[in-house]
Amino acid sequence: MKKFAKVVSSPNMKMAAVRELNVAPNYQYNSVIIDEDIKDFGLNKKYFIRTYGCQGNLRDSEVIAGILKEMKYSPCQNVEEADIIILNTCCVRENAEKKVFGEIGSLKSLKQKNPNLLIGVCGCMVQQEHIVTTLLTNYQQVDIIFGTHNIYQLPSLIKDAILSNQRICNVLSNQGDIQEDLPSCRANTYKAWVNIMYGCNKFCTYCIVPYTRGKERSRKSVDILNEIRQLKEMGYKEVTLLGQNVNAYGKDIADLSFAELMEQVALTGIDRIRFTTSHPYDFSDELIDVIAKYPNIMKHIQLPVQSGDDGILKAMGRRYNRKQYLDLVKKIKDKIKDVSLTTDIIVGFPNESDEAFAQTLSLCEEVKYDSAFTFIYSPRVGTPAAKMKDNISMDVKKQRFNKLTATIAKYELEKYKTFEGKIIKVLVDGPSKKNEEILSGYSEDNKLVNFKGDLSSVGKIVNVKIIKAKTYTLEGEQVD
Ligand code: 5AD
Ligand code: SF4
């Protein structure tokens, strides 16, 4: 039997594109409200969360887990055992969306077996009108749809869905407030994600994120620093500062700049500090100096270039040209010894000629990245680029993609080879996925290291002697 869908609010991408600049965000504290009548809803019930996409989503899923825990739900490892399943989705490329629709489809049979099962879909995908329409029309098995701005309302959405026996949709397209003090169950006990800002105002022409994540808005530095100090006291070794464009931190409020914030974070004394992602446009000289100065700021910079061709960069709305990007790379390499540079690149953007693609290859040859995430352009509904003709055939896109990954791999291996024979510091994650007897972890400059070592080192920083370099990993043995 079809259930009625109550649509409290649904997304509107035109509204999501509005930016009222020079207006500081609203900060809300302790906004999760769990009514008396639902505080034990989760007793003897289990939750399962599947997360797609970026670190921002991973962090949001930790918050969703925290809220469900407050409602007394406990976690489980597979969908069959769950009483509530949440899919936290990504829409950055079409493939990400296809996976989610596939998964929702496969959950239909579980829902038929257990009509009390609750299925929630949240995250970036449902910030788009056409996706919500499709879910409401064709995917009866989905009970709750909520967006990136109102995760804190999850308890009341669950209550509504259960007590009113209706499907609920509540997705906001406002510029977004900042919710502080949300409960969370962190996925890890020694490394943590810490949001420093939300949203994006850059509006690169191919990118959906400014519409799904709202306006750039910074957390107060005092709240960020308190969170990091607490993490340190709890024994955390590493924090990764998160934002769609961390270099724009503080531009919307009278607070520290990103460089000043990084310095304060370094002074907390936490062992390892990382940050992601940096837009080259906002990368200041002060930031380069701070990264160079503090040993606990890791010397790894993810600096998305997207293309090496001026015409394509302009069409992408990236706000820098090839020369400006290369000048920034030179400045970074000159000032930060042994810096590791990684990047994101898109191939097959509309009108990308063979010559334009050759420019991307030559830029990679010049920079010699430590590694790169490479993507085939995927048109996103509602973005300016989606109105351009997607005129590069899939065959050509794939050929370019393969050429690019081969070029990146060549320099990656060259760089990795320079580590052979060296002793480097690794924060140990645990037994490697492929071989229980081998431990794995990440080096200071974010390389995956597999090594023979002592299981008691998990969560600690240890010295590892590198014996062999492969294209994507280093192999070695623990020396202390
Ligand atoms: N198509 C392909 N890749 C994309 N990215 C963002 N939007 C698209 C798109 N429409 C890539 C960019 C970005 C990374 C997170 O995803 O390279 O830096
Ligand atoms: Fe995906 Fe971007 Fe949303 Fe992250 S912010 S989940 S990458 S669409």
pTM for the whole thing?
A: 0.96
Q: How far apart, in whole angstroms, are the C-alpha atoms of residue 367 and residue 329?
A: 7
For residue 344, which ligand has an atom nearest its CA? 1
Over residues 369-405, the pLDDT tens digits come to 999 999 999 999 999 999 999 999 999 999 999 999 9
Q: Evaluate whether 35 touches 156 at the Cβ level (below 8 Å).
A: yes
Residue 449 neighbours by CB under 8 Å, 6+ apart: 424, 426, 440, 441, 442, 443, 464, 466, 473, 474, 475, 476
Q: Residue 216 Cα, ligand 2 centroid: separation in angstroms?
A: 14
Count other Cβ atoms within 10 Å, centred on residue 264: 15
Confidence of residue 433 (pLDDT cuts 50, 70, 90): confident
For residue 213, which ligand has an atom nearest its CA? 2
Q: How far apart, in whole angstroms, are the C-alpha atoms of residue 152 and residue 421?
A: 50
- For residue 346 and ligand 1, the question of a CB distance below 6 A is answered with yes
Least confident of 126-140, 164-178, 299-313: 164-178
- Whether 72 has a pLDDT exceeding 80, the answer reads yes
Q: Residue 127 Cα, ligand 2 centroid: separation in angstroms?
A: 11
Q: Is 455 exposed, middle or buried (0-12, 13-18, 19+ CB in 10 A)?
A: exposed
Provide the token pair at 293. 């100065």
Over residues 173-197, the pLDDT tens digits come to 988 899 999 999 999 999 999 999 9
Q: Evaluate whether 336 touches 291 at the Cβ level (below 8 Å).
A: yes
E runs forming strands in 357-413: 371-376
- Whether 1 has a pLDDT exceeding 70, the answer reads no
- For residue 213 and ligand 2, the question of a CB distance below 6 A is answered with yes
- Among the atoms of ligand 1, which is closest to the Cα of residue 344? 17
- Whether 2 has a pLDDT exceeding 80, the answer reads no
Q: How far apart, in whole angstroms, are the C-alpha atoms of residue 247 and residue 270?
A: 21
- Whether 338 has a pLDDT exceeding 80, the answer reads yes
Q: Evaluate whether 277 touches 244 at the Cβ level (below 8 Å).
A: yes
- Whether 471 has a pLDDT exceeding 90, the answer reads no
E runs forming strands in 127-237: 144-146, 167-170, 178-180, 191-195, 197-198, 217-218
Mean pLDDT, the chain, whole residue set: 96
Provide the token pair at 136. 């409401």
* pLDDT of 138: 96
Place of tokens 């009278």: 254
Instruction: Provide mean pLDDT across the span 357-362.
Output: 98
